[in-house]
Amino acid sequence: MSDAALQGRVAVVTGGGSGIGRAIARRFARAGARVVVAGRREAAIAAVAAETHGIAVTCDVTRLDDVEALFARALAWGGSCDVFVNNAGQTGPVGALAEVDLDAWRACIEVNLFGAMHGLRVAARIMAAQGRGSIINMSSRMGLHGYPMRSAYSATKFALIGMTEAVAREVGPRGVRVNALCPGAVSGELMERVIAARAAAEGRPPEEIIRRDYTDSAALRRWLSPEEVADAALFLASDASSAVTGERIRVDCGRF
């Protein structure tokens, strides 16, 4: 795709300090976007903003006031909000539902569901008034298929698919598109922590979990990279997907 695909557009990326969010911020900047990098860790988002020549805005998505302040800052800096990547989230507790820590379960819902809803709420209002925009919700392969030991995470990502379809129909008449990306397991520190927790909970070696549940079950027989998710996000952010809305797109190396 052209490196001018987002030339001059303003993009807000939550959870932009690491992993998929950082990769998206970098890819959008290379495509000409002016990027607002949001997250809770000030040092991490500042580093990405410096690299992408954007701005960093600290934001806790569970707080609606923070989210409203984030978009107000984006509008003051860039004059519009053309793309919103609703990426902030957490992995949630790893464990069987019958025994899982309920406080951790609720905390996952607060970030991944209410936090995502806050971003959708504010972005939809702004973009509808503009008469244009693209919202990209970061769901998951686990938003399409429930996964053992990950009930909280799966529940939030299934819910985000439903919100994507609902809001796409609400704002479509105003020229705003809403889609969901559903990445599979992405290599990096986040998955390392998940696998370590699964190994402890299931009594299996990490190498066995990786081979049986991730790489060997993928048609391409490998992990997914954050950069590959970023390329898919660029497609949904750009005019190349101008007729695509209310859709969920798997990016998972063909895991079955």
Question: What is the full per-residue pLDDT of the chain (256 aa) written as tens digits?
Answer: 667 899 999 999 999 999 999 999 999 999 999 999 999 999 999 999 999 999 999 999 999 999 999 999 999 999 999 999 999 999 999 999 999 999 999 999 999 999 999 999 999 999 999 999 999 999 999 999 999 999 999 999 999 999 999 999 999 999 999 999 999 988 777 777 878 888 888 889 988 888 877 788 888 888 899 999 999 999 999 999 999 999 999 999 888 7
| Beta strand extents in the chain (DSSP E only) | 10-13, 34-39, 55-58, 83-86, 133-138, 176-183, 248-251
What is residue 1's predicted lDDT score, i.e. its pLDDT? 63
The answer to whether 169 touches 124, Cβ cutoff 8 Å, is: no
CATH class of 10-185+225-251: alpha beta
Give me the half-sphere count of Cα atoms (radius 13 Å) on the Cβ side of residue 230.
Answer: 19
Other C-beta atoms lying within 10 Å of the C-beta of residue 51: 14
Q: What's the pTM value of the predicted model, to 2 decimals?
A: 0.92
The answer to whether 52 touches 102, Cβ cutoff 8 Å, is: no
- Active-site positions read 153
Please, what is the end-to-end C-alpha distance for the chain in angstroms?
28
Residues of the chain with pLDDT > 90, as a percent, come to 81
- CA separation for the pair 14, 42 (Å, rounded): 12
pLDDT in tens, 183-204: 998 877 777 787 888 888 888 9
